[in-house]
Amino acid sequence: MRAGVLHGAKDLRISRIDIPQPGPGMVLLRVRRVGICGSDMHYFEHGCCGAFVPTRPFVLGHEFTADVVSAGPDTSGPAIGTRVTVNPARACGFCDYCKSGRGNLCRKTIMLGSASTTPPTDGAFAEFVTVRADQCHALPPHMSDGLGAMMEPFAVALHAVKRAGSVAGKRVLVTGGGPIGLLTLITARAFGATPVTLSDVVAGRRETALKLGADAVLDPTAKNLAEQVRELSGDGFDVIFEASGAPPALRQAFDLVRPGGTIVQIGTLGADDVPLPANQLMAREIQFIGSFRYGNVFDEAIRLVETGRVDLEPLVSEVFPLEEFPQAMQRAFAKDDVIKVQIQIH
Ligand SMILES: [Zn+2]
Ligand SMILES: [Zn+2]
DSSP per-residue letters across 13-43? EEEE-PPP---TTEEEEEEEEEEPPHHHHHH
Give the tens place of pLDDT for each residue, 232-243.
999 999 999 999
Instruction: Give the whole-angstrom CA distance, residue 217 versus residue 340.
Output: 20
The verdict on pTM exceeding 0.85 is yes
% of residues, the chain, pLDDT over 90 = 95
Ligand nearest to the CA of 97: 2
DSSP line for 112-124? TTBSSSSSPBP-S
- Residue 234 C-alpha to ligand 1 middle, in angstroms? 35
- Residue 63 C-alpha to ligand 1 middle, in angstroms? 6
Ligand nearest to the CA of 266: 1
- What is the CATH architecture of 2-150+312-344? Alpha-Beta Complex (3.90)
- Residue 51 C-alpha to ligand 2 middle, in angstroms? 21
- Residue 100 C-alpha to ligand 1 middle, in angstroms? 24
β-partners of residue 90 are 110
- Residue 102 C-alpha to ligand 2 middle, in angstroms? 8
Mean pLDDT of the chain: 95
- Residue 254 C-alpha to ligand 1 middle, in angstroms? 27
Give the tens place of pLDDT for each residue, 96-150.
999 999 999 999 999 999 999 999 999 999 999 999 999 999 999 999 999 999 9
- Residue 152 C-alpha to ligand 1 middle, in angstroms? 6
* Annotated domain spans of the chain: 2-150+312-344, 155-290
Give the tens place of pLDDT for each residue, 143-173.
999 999 999 999 999 999 999 999 999 999 9
- Residue 194 C-alpha to ligand 2 middle, in angstroms? 37
Binning pLDDT at 50, 70 and 90, where does residue 326 land? very high
SS3 332: helix
pLDDT tops 80 at residue 272 = no
Instruction: Give the whole-angstrom CA distance, residue 153 versus residue 322.
Output: 21
Ligand nearest to the CA of 96: 2
Ligand nearest to the CA of 91: 2
Ligand nearest to the CA of 93: 2
Ligand nearest to the CA of 123: 1
CB atoms within 10 A of CB 57: 16
Across 4-30, b (16+ Cβ under 10 Å) vs e yields bbbeeeeebebeeeeebebeebbbbbb
- Residue 70 C-alpha to ligand 1 middle, in angstroms? 25
CB atoms within 10 A of CB 160: 28
- Residue 6 C-alpha to ligand 2 middle, in angstroms? 28
- Residue 93 C-alpha to ligand 1 middle, in angstroms? 21
For β-strands 26-35 and 83-86, DSSP reports them as unpaired
The class level of CATH for 155-290 reads alpha beta
